[in-house]
A and B are shown apart, each in its own frame.
Chain A
Amino acid sequence: MSIWLIMGLGLLLELLLLIRGLRARLIQRYYFFYIYIASVTFVTGAAMLLNGTAPALYDRWYWPLQLGTLITGYGILLEILNHVLAPYPGAERFARFSGIGAFGAILCFALVSPLIAPHWSPGTIIEFERDLRSVQAIFICSLLAVVFYYGIGIGRNMNGMIMGYGLYILTSLFSLTIRSYAGKPLDQIWLIQPLSFNISLIIWLIALWSYCPNPAPDHMIHLEEDYGALVARTKGVMGAIRAYIGKAART
């Protein structure tokens, strides 16, 4: 009973988020995010409908639909990458470099896992979802590492998008890891996933109430030297400081 209450509340929040996105004209700006929300709304609605009318169909379609939302979830990561790092080509290149690595891992995993386990059991599905969530978690961590390292400012919209999705991935990862390890005795922990998704929806609803762009640097700095010269100068400077400090340590 409680799960249907959580899902019902989730459906309401999802619809509210879509309506607000439409009214605030955020759908045009963050279309990957709203494609994800629309797909989740469809899946939630379909799950509630099928469970009431055709439970056999619900059992059959539950995992494929979940997998669909999991894949559209990568759209949020793409949205974050596009919006947060767009004014910083260097940082974007760095993030893409690590992002491509993460995506390659997902692709390899998706291609190889059906060959290894052609007949999925609920246990392997949990492990499969856990693995995909962990790739998303690694992607967010590497993206945030780039954001922190290069001191890139993030606006309210993007901040909320990252926090909301990050929180959902975090709770999913913990729940799926514990379930895959402990098995049946701790199976009820799965309830934490839809519950945390509702919290994420509330975060998104607040953060995406209106458009709030990312703070850009006051003025774009265009140096006349190229990147190689910048790196060479920084390295030279560091070498000089290191030499002095080394000398100091030896005295």
Chain B
Amino acid sequence: MISLIFFLFVGVLLFLSLFLLARRNTRPEGSSSALVEARQALKTLQAGLLPLDLVKRVFAERDWEYVRAETPRSIHELFMAERKAIALLWLTEVRSQIRSLQRFHRGAARHYARLNPRLEVELAMSFAALTGACMALQALVYIAGPYAAPRMVSVVANVAARACEISQQSLSFLDTARLGALGGQPTDAATL
């Protein structure tokens, strides 16, 4: 019976692998254009969405105190729902930055002939743990709300900013001097 379960499990694993292969986009990840796109997205995030002062302002508890004192109950609920959505959006961005870092690492590591499989497995597990921790935080915000843990907001903001900074470091090799070598199009570099 144990052998039956084992071989059927291997079969199911193969079926799932083939199913994923059939549904997969054939375009390779980590191409130079994809990395350039990643850097462009990062710039947009940092400039438009993630400045620390703006985040602190958005999550300021004084706003909640003012709304609670000056407005009817129906507005309270609307306000809380919107702030909660923003907090969740923030955590989604952090996860996205972690994914971006992982994507970049994989895109670079696969070219190294001296790649260490043990280290790669270790890193993959660490990335999975980190993403899991992020998801747990999202669940916490979803259940307890954005003001349940007041210090959390600033920490989340720091995490997001730090993640962006980190991704920027990861993509720092895409400087103007080297973009020409990647794409042979120095004009692209100017847009970054």
Q: A residues touching B (Cβ–Cβ < 8 Å)?
A: 88-91, 93-94, 97-98, 130, 134, 137-138, 140-141, 144-145, 147-155, 159, 162-163, 166-167, 169-170, 173-174, 176-177, 181, 215-224, 226-227, 230-231, 233-235, 237-238, 240-242, 244-249, 251
The interface stretch among B11-19, B40-48, B49-57, B62-70 is B11-19
Scoring B residues 89 to 126 as 1 if CB is less than 8 Å from chain A, else 0, what string do you get? 00000100010010101111111111111011001101
Interface contact B155-A90, CB-CB below 8 Å: no
Instruction: Decide yes or no whether B85 CB sits under 8 A from chain A.
Output: no
A94 in complex: contacting residue of B94, B117, B127, B150, CB < 8 Å:
B117
Question: Is B183 on the interface with A (CB-CB < 8 A)?
Answer: yes
**Is the beta-carbon distance between A245 and B130 smaller than 8 angstroms?**
yes
Contact with A along B156-187 (1 / 0, CB 8 A): 10110011001001100100000000111000
Cα separation A162 to B129 with both chains bound (whole Å): 31
B149 at the interface (CB under 8 A from A): yes
Cross-interface CB contact of B109 among A148, A153, A173, A227, cutoff 8 Å: A227
> Does A220 lie within 8 Å of B111, measured CB to CB?
yes
Task: For the complex formed, measure the closest distance between the CB of A251 and the CB atoms of chain B, giving whole angstroms.
Answer: 4
Q: Is the CB of B151 within 8 A of A170?
A: no
Asked whether, in the complex, the Cβ of A162 is within 8 Å of the Cβ of B112, the reply is: no
Q: Which residues of B contact A173 (CB under 8 A)?
A: 7, 10-11, 14
Complex CA distance for A239 and B40, rounded to whole angstroms? 25
From the candidates B26, B136, B170, name the one contacting A237 in the complex (CB within 8 A).
Answer: B170
A138 touching B33 by the CB < 8 A rule?
no
Asked if A238 contacts B103 (CB within 8 A), the reply is: no
Interface size for chain B: under 10, 10 to 19, 20 to 34, or 35 or more residues? 35 or more
Q: Is A170 touching B183 in the complex (CB atoms < 8 A)?
A: no
Docked complex Cα distance between A244 and B130 (Å): 11
B190 at the interface (CB under 8 A from A): no
A71 CB to nearest B CB, Å: 20
Residues of B within 8 A of A167 (CB): 18
B126: chain A residues within 8 A (beta carbon):
235, 238, 242
Smallest Cβ distance from B85 to chain A, in angstroms?
Answer: 18
User: Quick one: CB contact mask for B6-46 with A, threshold 8 Å, 1 for yes?
Assistant: 01101101110110111010111111110100000000000
